Amino acid sequence: MSIQNQQTKLNIGLFGFGVVGESLYKVLQSNSSLNAQISKVCIKHPEKKRNAPAELFTTNPEDILKDESINVVVELIDDSEAALHIVSTALSNKKAVVSANKKLIAEHQGSLLELQQIYNTPFLYESACCASIPVIRNLEEYYDNDLLQGINGIVNGSTNYILTRISEDGLDFAQALKLAQDEGFAESNPALDVEGKDAVNKLTILLTHAYGLVTHPETIVHTGIHKLHEEDAIYAKEKGYEIKLVAQAKKLEDGKIAAFVLPQFLKKDSQLYNVRNEYNGVIIESGLADKQFFYGKGAGGFPTASAVLSDLSALRYDYRYEYKKLRYQQPAELSNDFYLRVYVSFDALFQVPHEIFEHIDEWSSNNRRCSVVGIIHFSKLVNNDWWKQNNTSLLVLPEAIVPYTPKKSVQKERELVFA
């Protein structure tokens, strides 16, 4: 059924009735001008109490996927493998699909692109990145690959919320995480948030729309906030920094893309410094416009539902992603050939493989913790997890990617420091 018409009713089959699904339902119930209604909701746990009439619910996906009167499938579940089946079947049945499932989209970009092409059916997912901030359509439509110099973003609301509660209210990690879960910001498996997996899934999607770079999230260096040590927070306070989990992509001189998700110390002059709680912020750097800053709620029922609604209304004018950078331009490649200024902290000096540092800027040691600030070649973080073992924590300094020419005296410098 074509929905390329303002008059055609959007007859929605919804998968999932969690925080976002229920918010979407409430908005559509109270707003008839949208000419859209949810006619069936597929759920996994029928025993849970729901704030909607019982006859709306089913546990059988086919009740939606095989119902010809349903012209749009909205997929808001947390199981990415089940979601792949739902989305693939819906697209092959020529139903438009709106999804918020960043894990699904990031991990299966190749096959999802193929399905959209084969069945010529729209698949929209603005809510999958930064919830209420319209960043995907912006990257897709507005920025030319050549002009887009970089993206720096706080793209996970839960970790930002946790870091804010720890720094402002003095909560410990477990208390802050519990609050993020109670507020409905965290994934049902919160390890996805705190270990940086949700953020790297989002960065993977942004890379496709920014640079036509289609990759798997596991190929991107990432970690979360779970390894941060209280001495790192003390260091940040002394220097006047805020710690944030930042997803970054930067076009290097050779045209390749540096990309990673790592905790970072930020100075007051960064727009991301003041992004607090579940808010997200994205700085887009372009050749002509310099820096532009997008800010908004990155998690939660209504902020996420707002992006789902925007996709639903885009279906009316048959909007679909053209994947312009992928189709009409030379897609970019990832690079590991650049230098980062990092801070590494660890329980004892002997635990750090000191040969990884090209240059040491500063180091300190007390009876609780030792830390080194210096420059490393990014490749030292790839396929090598020295920096994730032995209670080690690694953060990027505010300047992150730095120009550096290796010097011959490096060995001597390292010996002096670690003697």
The alpha-helical segments, DSSP class H, found in 212-367 are 230-239, 301-315, 324-327
Q: Which position among 115, 299, 315, 376 is part of the footprint of ligand HSE (CB under 6 A)?
A: 299
- Our CB check for ligand HSE shows the closer of 160 and 371 to be 160
Q: Interaction with ligand HSE in 170-199: which residues (CB under 6 A)?
A: 185-187, 193, 198
* Cα–Cα–Cα angle for 218, 15, 80, rounded to 5 degrees: 15
User: Which residue among 103, 202, 250, 256 is the active-site one?
Assistant: 202
48 is catalytic: no
x/- letters, 81..120, toward ligand HSE (CB under 6 A): ----------------------------------------
> What strands lie across the sheet with 36-42, from one edge to the other?
57-58, 36-42, 10-15, 72-75, 96-99, 123-124
Q: Report whether 282 contacts 151 (CB < 8 A).
A: yes
Residue 126 touching ligand HSE (CB under 6 A): no
Q: Which position among 71, 156, 371, 393 is part of the footprint of ligand HSE (CB under 6 A)?
A: 156
Q: Report whether 28 contacts 90 (CB < 8 A).
A: no
- Our CB check for ligand HSE shows the closer of 187 and 311 to be 187
DSSP of 296-311, one letter per residue?
EE-SSHHHHHHHHHHH
Q: Report whether 233 contacts 243 (CB < 8 A).
A: yes
- Our CB check for ligand HSE shows the closer of 39 and 181 to be 181
Question: Interface with ligand HSE by CB under 6 A: which range of 153-161, 229-237, 250-258, 331-339?
Answer: 153-161
Q: Report whether 299 contacts 317 (CB < 8 A).
A: no
For CA atoms 231, 234, 236, 239, give the dihedral sign.
Answer: negative
Q: Which position among 132, 158, 204, 270 is part of the footprint of ligand HSE (CB under 6 A)?
A: 158
Q: Say how many residues touch ligand HSE, by CB under 6 A.
A: 11
Q: Interaction with ligand HSE in 385-414: which residues (CB under 6 A)?
A: none
* Amino acid occupying residue 175: Q
- Our CB check for ligand HSE shows the closer of 100 and 259 to be 100
Catalytic residues: 202
**Site residues, ligand HSE (CB under 6 A):** 131, 156-158, 185-187, 193, 198, 298-299
